[in-house]
Structure 1
Amino acid sequence: MAAQRILEMDFSTELGKTQRLRIYDAKETLTGAEVAAAMDKIITTGIFKSTGGNLTGKVDARIITTTADDLDLV
């Protein structure tokens, strides 16, 4: 069984929409403070553009953990 951790970060945009960024294989020790700082950096640098305009604020963040079981296809 393989587990995967996905960091989802939701941002508000200039046009009042929400834009989600996903980071796969998020480290186990990731803290809310680290995520908030990264989101602030993403917003201030303007490195991502969306159809809703520039990212303007933090909305939400979460870690999603998924597991997968490989099947034997015999």
Structure 2
Amino acid sequence: MINDTALLESKSLRDSVLERTDVLDRVKALSLLPDGMHVTTAMVASYFGWVSKPSSHWSRTTGQNWRPTGITC
């Protein structure tokens, strides 16, 4: 494994690993919205293999605490 400090300080070391893109072949692509920068909750959930229900869970748990203040979810 390459030492991070050595990699930062040595241009020749950086040049020697520049073409190493093999790890990218093992990483799944993250789909983005058309702007190329943002994702939805459902898109992130799909990437990680989760069920996309965090918003409803949040409103059930946190929303109950906010109702006495007049904020609704």
TM range (shorter): under 0.3
**Highest Rg: 1 or 2?**
2
TM-score when normalising by structure 2 = 0.24
TM-score when normalising by structure 1 = 0.23
More helix by share: 2
RCO higher in structure (CA 8 A, sep ≥6)? 1
